[in-house]
Amino acid sequence: MPHVIVKLWPGKSDTQKQRLADAITQNVTSILGYGDDAVSVAFEEVASADWTEQVFEPDILGKWDQLAKEPGYGPRPGQARS
């Protein structure tokens, strides 16, 4: 029962979010072999000013070894911040 949480900056339209949710659902069902009814997708909007504290530090740096795709921004674990 995959549940996917997408954290993003505010400002994307409901249509954009629905299109992304549909694409995620389609890929999860085709790649992992789950039925459509087994997949859920949620969106959490996080202001850009809060991104480092609420997302980057706990979910990216704090779980670096769990990332399937690393971001192209910010320090890597063990690097000093500029």
Environment class of residue 55 by beta-carbon count within 10 Å: exposed (0-12), middle (13-18) or buried (19+)? middle
DSSP label at residue 81: P
User: In the annotation, is 58 catalytic?
Assistant: no
Q: Spot the catalytic one: 2, 58, 71, 75.
A: 2
Environment class of residue 60 by beta-carbon count within 10 Å: exposed (0-12), middle (13-18) or buried (19+)? buried
Active site residues: 2
